[in-house]
Amino acid sequence: MKKPNKRVLDVCCGAKMFYFDKNNSDVEFCDIRQVPRHEFYPNRYIEISPDTICDFTALPFDDKSFKLVIFDPPHLTKCGENSWLKLKYGRLEGDWQTMIQKGFMECFRVLDDDGILIFKWSEIQIPLKDILPLSPYTPLLGQRTGKQMNTHWMVFMKPKNHKNEKSE
Ligand SMILES: C[S@@+](CC[C@H](N)C(=O)[O-])C[C@H]1O[C@@H](n2cnc3c(N)ncnc32)[C@H](O)[C@@H]1O
Q: What is the CATH number of the domain that holds 88?
A: 3.40.50
In a domain? residue 132: yes
In a domain? residue 2: no
- The number of domains in the chain is 1
- Counting ligand 1 atoms within 8 A of each CB, the residue from 22, 31, 106 with the most, and so the one to mutate, is 31
Question: Of 46, 4, 11, nearest to 25 (Cα)?
Answer: 4
**CA-closest residue to ligand 1 atom 2:** 89
- Atom index in ligand 1 nearest the CA of residue 18 equals 8
CA–centroid distance, 73 to ligand 1, in Å, is: 5
Region of 138 (left: φ > 0; alpha: ψ -120 to 50; beta: rest) is beta
Largest CA distance in the chain: 57
Quote the distance between the C-alpha of residue 31 and its chain's center.
Answer: 9
In a domain? residue 66: yes
- Atom index in ligand 1 nearest the CA of residue 89 equals 2
- Counting ligand 1 atoms within 8 A of each CB, the residue from 11, 12, 46, 52 with the most, and so the one to mutate, is 12
> Which helix (H) or strand (E) is 108 found in, with range?
helix 96-110
- Counting ligand 1 atoms within 8 A of each CB, the residue from 89, 105, 110 with the most, and so the one to mutate, is 89
As a whole number, mean pLDDT of residues 51-78 equals 97
In a domain? residue 3: no
**What is the domain range of residue 90?**
8-167
Residue 40 identity: F
CA–centroid distance, 116 to ligand 1, in Å, is: 19
- The pLDDT score that the predictor gives to residue 168 is 43
pLDDT digits (tens, 9 = 90+) for 113-147: 999 999 999 988 999 999 999 999 999 998 876 66
pLDDT digits (tens, 9 = 90+) for 10-32: 999 999 999 999 999 999 999 99
> Which helix (H) or strand (E) is 88 found in, with range?
helix 84-89
Q: 61 Cβ partners below 8 Å, 6+ apart?
A: 1, 2, 3, 4, 9, 28, 110
As a whole number, mean pLDDT of residues 49-65 equals 98
In a domain? residue 117: yes
As a whole number, mean pLDDT of residues 75-95 equals 95
**CA-closest residue to ligand 1 atom 4:** 14
